[in-house]
Structure 1
Amino acid sequence: MRADLITLLLSLTVSVLSAQELSVAGPDQNLEVQVSLKDGKPVYRVSYKEKTILENSPLGLVSNVGDFSKNMTYVEHKAGRIDKTYTQDRIKQSSIHYQANELTCTFANPDQQKIEVVFRVSNNDVAFRYVMPRYGETGSCMIEKEMTGFDFPSYTTTFLCPQSDAMIGWKRTKPSYEEEYKADAPMDERSQYGHGYTFPCLFRVGGDGWVLVSETGVDSRYCASHLSDATADGLYTIAFPMPEENNGNGSAAPGLSLPGSTPWRTLTVGETLKPIVETTIPWDVVDPLYETEHDYRFGRGTWSWILWQDGSINYDDQVKYVDFAAAMGYEYVLIDNWWDTNIGRDRMKSLVDYAHRKHVDVFLWYSSSGYWNDIEQGPVNCMDNPIIRKREMKWLRSLGVKGIKVDFFGGDKQETMRLYEAILSDADDNGLMVIFHGCTIPRGWERMYPNYVGSEAVLASENLIFNQHYDDNEAFNACLHPFIRNTIGCMEFGGVLLNKRLNRTNDGGTIRKTTDVFQLATAVLFQNPIQNFALAPNNLTDVPAFEIDFMKQVPTTWDEIRFIDGYPGKYCVLARRHADKWYVAGINAGKEPLKLKITLPMFAGKKVTVYDDDKKRNPRMTETSVKADGTIQLVIQPEGGMICLL
């Protein structure tokens, strides 16, 4: 393409509104970001189809080598276009074409130290970060405060999860991203602990649209962040970890080697929830950090601990769950905490060999260990020390173990981000996949780390076992996750409980309130490339055969996602495609039947199998024909579900 034509095209998407104001729009011109200086302070604002999404919001940061938040002057700007395609096998979509317009604004402080703010604007996503050069002889800095803010209109409501106090909860393991959401809350309502909110954060801007705020590209070179509480004017700002995290060890402020850049702050914007659910921005702006020589296989797993708890971590019970995995045709069995003492390292080789003879591979649990909590569950002190960790992983490789689940991390400091990355890197050297629990959210990690396969970072299925309150609210919470937590990365929930009573013998403990089909639907709604389901061996004979048949064939990796209908906390209907097969799943958190007329073009004029609940909330499997225009009438029972597939 001729250079003058490229310049013309860029001029259509990046505008110089004045000497102090610049504008960049997405390819379809609907999403626009304007950047300016107000009294020497850099700010930006966001609109969608000319409706205000963010009012003037602060930019900049304060470091120990310079203040880049005030008394700034405009230096220059550059425009560019991003057009890339990539494939990714562990997220909501396998083939991605990312197109965005880029604006790089350079500002200088009174000492003539420069900083760049790089914006990338696609049709529904904004990503931006700061880039700092080397300042003479200064080759490193500490970021003391990030001024980055998100100033929403006063009529905005929120769907947020509070950041907890540090070093509280069971064995002093918090924060672990496992607090409860409030739906449609006003912005002036303070967070539960007074520390703001964990990413991702969902906002409804009146009738003008929806916004998801998060971050991506966090690795060992920065800390993870969250949002502060809002000011009276509706301004949220980036907040760094609390000093008390990691038992007080490590700096709450991140350090940067110069030249260096911060992680990307992201906004996904839409008139409906469709762009929120379908966004791929967490992976669009990051790249793999290392290549792997291993071919990692994803799939389904059984997991005794969730229903049978600690007492099941013994050789004989694990043989039963290996046999159960084999009967289901599942690829994995997860053996949880205490295996080192209750089974023993010597017998573990025998157990892994037995699993292999059944064509089942093994994941083993580990504590993250270290000085940041009081965990006793073993193995401990294997993952925090690089010498011990490498020796342990070499032993795992010799046994043929395929992955590890590492639990109970200490917070969001850069110190902890280094530990996540070290575990992943060492594990890949030994052909091991990694699941994190008691942890932070993933931030582009599926693309950055080839052996990363999921994080908990949610009130997951174990809480249904521990406390009836979570069973009573299961449907509400499940109708939040596809719109918030699971939009930005894998969610290792450990769901699909078919026991009516949540204990080993299906006759005691907490009581499940949702229907069987609700549970089946979450196998589709919740996305993670390795799903350790909460099924139990008794389900082979005590639930209808069609339920087990469905769970035998449901995939865990997807090629495409489509938002069909829903509202956070009320109901959700999504479609996912695996190869050439579509799965449409829906759940209802309401107390009344939900009647829907939806359009499913992928099923137009075809006969489909429908799993749903009758009026008494009993499961059934029927067949129906979809109209030629793709419309279909559905009824989802209270705390019930439905699934449609060819």
Structure 2
Amino acid sequence: MNCALQAQVAKVASPDKNLDVAIWLNNGAITYTVNYKGKAILENSPLGLTTNEADFTEGMNFISSNSSQLSKTYSQQKIKKSEVKYEANKLTCVFENPKKYKISVVFQLSNNDIAFRYEIPAMGERMSCVIQKEATGYKFPNKTTTFLSGMMSPMTGFARTAPSYESDYQADRPLKSATRSGGGYVFPALFKIGEDGWALLSETGVNSQFCASHLSEYSDKGIYTIEYPDIRQNNGFGSSGAAISLPGLTPWRTITVGDKLDPIVETTVPFDVVEPLYEPSKDYQFGRSTWSWIVWQDNSMNYEDQVKYIDLAASLKYEYILIDALWDKNIGKERMATLINYAKSKGVGVFLWYNSNGAFNDAPQGPRNKMSTAIERKKEMSWLKDVGVKGLKVDFFGGDKQETMRLYEDILSDANDYGLMVVFHGATLPRGWERMYPNFVGSEAVVASEMLIFSQHVREIEAYNATMHPFIRNTVASMEFGGVLLNKYLTKSNTDRNKRLTTDVFQLATAILYQSPVQMFGLTPNNLTDVPAFEIDFMKQVPTTWDETVLIDGYPGKYVVLARRHGKQWYVAGANATKEAIKLKLQLPMLGGKTTALYNDDTHKAPFTESVKISKAGKINIEIQPSGGFVLVQKD
């Protein structure tokens, strides 16, 4: 084909025909368009990449295309849905550059999801290359508004640990809005295309063989492009591109599309297109955890206070306690072994905190230098296995480079060898990791509960953030938030400062709204007696794994109502970020004719519970107070 022509070279549609992608060759450049139900979601958007051996962005010729159908089922306990059936239509387009080097662009379309990536064969005698830059872009119609979170500037924040995906999402902003840092936007990224629909952008399948990426600033050509990590990350160490073996693959770029928000919230595409990288060394058990640090802070990192939180976990019938930073100095390994035995006698497993750091930031908390090298890591994990630790929380990563992706994978792989689960904190967005790494539990990668302790501003927008996460951050990966804070004041004394501005029932609702298979809840020992008993009873029973997730109603940044099923039991939770009470007429077919326990706030924001029979048609009227919430729990 003459590369001077502008022509459509291939097209693929979803199984239900509502979603389609067309591939074009425009004057030697590969582009694509996306339509949903006949309406434009993405206009002419660029494809291609540049390596140190070849440029695949210009002078390209179309060679061939091939179509096929995919179908698979899989089970995954750690995500929003436990049994998944994935059906997609696949299109592979082969192109050739002026040097006769080839590249394939592979698209897979399910009914509301697009996943695409590049496949690069050997380049003559070259069996490896460095991918330096992607042209991959997204051109939305001008009427689009954005729901984006800015990428944090490298080597800023606490002890130069940024970026850590801990910036707020801004709702309904114009396409041309710039970030404060000028560093682009993190994944996932949500877009509203006028009245025509919604699109969620992200990526999945990132492992040690590639870097993670993010969205660029909005260009003067009206396009967001894939951008690789800032070279300044991790103190300037490591490449900003990706070194790959040939033939090689890039991670999947994903686009979830719908005329409503339901497909966005309910998508499983981050897990549909990846596979486990190794077998679990044991049957990992998930559940609930206490942790003292979130409210009692550094001063609680001592033997006596940890005993109190072990006892709290036992009282709540929780599976775990997280013992956070500074335990190495304040408790020590010998007494820690004794403490772990005490926890075991109470039926409570232990997660221990570690600093990821070796050389790339200034975070002083210990244990340090135990996770950053293979020799020390394996020594430490051998001890952890011997004393009976169940999992790790590893903190302070601060980068998306391939060098950092290797560290994440090395920690996970080694931990699996020793039967340890892993939670990451101060970390990047997980990209398919729940399925790829069997012992991966979840990551923070959000403005999480600790910022409620440290920031008045974050306390003021807590309800706003809670109505954003189910539509954006938590749609693509488990989110270890560390919430459900029932102290009126977020201090050990529960007096004077850090006043909580959301209701108790709002806090209960977040246990459902936020999804992670291990939840570190922010309850304190005094909550056993200073909050209504029905709140504690609820927290004793709330699950952390789900078999089904359904969006009921909501709008990002305003309100949300979400239903989740655990076994045969449905939980419905909602939160209100507006300044007025919201009266909703909800359709809950899964609860039609069922008796439920309703937890709600009265007009004075005082919590109450009552038994409510749902109509056979599944209809119920619910009022949610400002900065409040509600929960319905199926009883029969």
| Bin of the TM-score, shorter chain as denominator length | over 0.9
| 1:497 equivalent in alignment to 2:470 | no
Within-5 A mapping of 1:135-146: 135-146=123-134
Rounded to whole Å, the distance in 1 between the matches of 2:574 and 2:252 is 32
Contact 1:154 1:233 in 2 (8 A): no
Matching residue within 495, 499, 511 for 1:511: 499
Aligned to 1:626: 614
Listed one character per residue, the Cα deviations across residues 383-437 of structure 1 (whole Å, up to 9, x for unaligned) are 0011000000000000000000000003000000000000000000000000000
Displacement of 1:192: 1.4
Aligned to 2:508: 520
Displacement of 1:71: 0.5
CA RMSD of aligned residues (A): 1.0
Displacement of 1:20: 4.3
Rounded to whole Å, the distance in 2 between the matches of 1:26 and 1:469 is 43
Rounded to whole Å, the distance in 2 between the matches of 1:133 and 1:533 is 48
Displacement of 1:370: 1.3
| 1:150 equivalent in alignment to 2:138 | yes
| 1:126 equivalent in alignment to 2:114 | yes
Rounded to whole Å, the distance in 2 between the matches of 1:473 and 1:410 is 25
| 1:547 equivalent in alignment to 2:535 | yes
Listed one character per residue, the Cα deviations across residues 527-571 of structure 1 (whole Å, up to 9, x for unaligned) are 000000000000000000000000000000000000000000000
Listed one character per residue, the Cα deviations across residues 458-490 of structure 1 (whole Å, up to 9, x for unaligned) are 000000001111111100011100000000000
Aligned to 1:277: 265
Displacement of 1:508: 2.9
- Give the letter for the 1:33 counterpart: V
Partner-residue secondary structure (3-state), 2:331: helix
Displacement of 1:293: 2.5
Contact 2:7 2:25 in 1 (8 A): no
| 1:638 equivalent in alignment to 2:632 | no
Rounded to whole Å, the distance in 1 between the matches of 2:495 and 2:631 is 28
Rounded to whole Å, the distance in 2 between the matches of 1:369 and 1:57 is 39
Within-5 A mapping of 1:360-371: 360-371=348-359
Rounded to whole Å, the distance in 1 between the matches of 2:103 and 2:306 is 56
Partner-residue secondary structure (3-state), 1:635: strand
Aligned to 2:3: none
Aligned to 1:15: none
Aligned to 1:348: 336
Displacement of 1:22: 1.1
Contact 2:8 2:22 in 1 (8 A): no
- Give the letter for the 1:24 counterpart: V
| 1:387 equivalent in alignment to 2:378 | no
Rounded to whole Å, the distance in 1 between the matches of 2:351 and 2:594 is 41
Within-5 A mapping of 1:157-168: 157-168=145-156
Aligned to 1:243: 231
| 1:263 equivalent in alignment to 2:237 | no
Rounded to whole Å, the distance in 1 between the matches of 2:595 and 2:426 is 43
- Give the letter for the 2:132 counterpart: E
Matching residue within 457, 460, 478 for 2:448: 460
Matching residue within 443, 460, 464 for 1:472: 460
Aligned to 2:93: 105
TM normalised by structure 1 equals: 0.97
Rounded to whole Å, the distance in 1 between the matches of 2:250 and 2:281 is 29
Unaligned 5+ segments in structure 1 are 1-17
Contact 2:9 2:62 in 1 (8 A): no
Rounded to whole Å, the distance in 2 between the matches of 1:150 and 1:370 is 37
- Give the letter for the 1:221 counterpart: Q
Matching residue within 413, 421, 430 for 2:401: 413
Contact 1:250 1:413 in 2 (8 A): yes
Rounded to whole Å, the distance in 1 between the matches of 2:332 and 2:595 is 53
| 1:300 equivalent in alignment to 2:293 | no
Rounded to whole Å, the distance in 2 between the matches of 1:293 and 1:400 is 15
Give the count of matched residue pairs: 630
Contact 1:20 1:74 in 2 (8 A): no
Matching residue within 312, 331, 340 for 1:324: 312
Partner-residue secondary structure (3-state), 2:523: coil
| 1:253 equivalent in alignment to 2:253 | no
Rounded to whole Å, the distance in 1 between the matches of 2:7 and 2:619 is 53
- Give the letter for the 2:426 counterpart: G
- Give the letter for the 2:498 counterpart: T
Rounded to whole Å, the distance in 2 between the matches of 1:358 and 1:607 is 34
Aligned to 1:21: 9
- Give the letter for the 2:349 counterpart: D
Contact 1:167 1:244 in 2 (8 A): yes
Please identify runs of 4+ aligned residues in structure 1 that moved more than 3 A. none
| 1:433 equivalent in alignment to 2:421 | yes
Aligned to 2:195: 207
Matching residue within 159, 169, 185 for 1:197: 185
Listed one character per residue, the Cα deviations across residues 226-272 of structure 1 (whole Å, up to 9, x for unaligned) are 00011234310000000000100000111111010000000000001
Aligned to 2:364: 376
Rounded to whole Å, the distance in 1 between the matches of 2:99 and 2:317 is 65
| 1:182 equivalent in alignment to 2:170 | yes
Contact 2:79 2:517 in 1 (8 A): yes
Rounded to whole Å, the distance in 2 between the matches of 1:626 and 1:336 is 43
Partner-residue secondary structure (3-state), 1:442: coil
Partner-residue secondary structure (3-state), 1:66: coil
Within-5 A mapping of 1:526-545: 526-545=514-533
Displacement of 1:617: 0.3
Aligned to 1:583: 571
Contact 2:310 2:343 in 1 (8 A): yes
TM normalised by structure 2 equals: 0.98
Aligned to 2:439: 451
Rounded to whole Å, the distance in 2 between the matches of 1:21 and 1:78 is 11
Partner-residue secondary structure (3-state), 2:187: strand
Aligned to 2:46: 58
Rounded to whole Å, the distance in 1 between the matches of 2:100 and 2:394 is 46
| 1:603 equivalent in alignment to 2:591 | yes
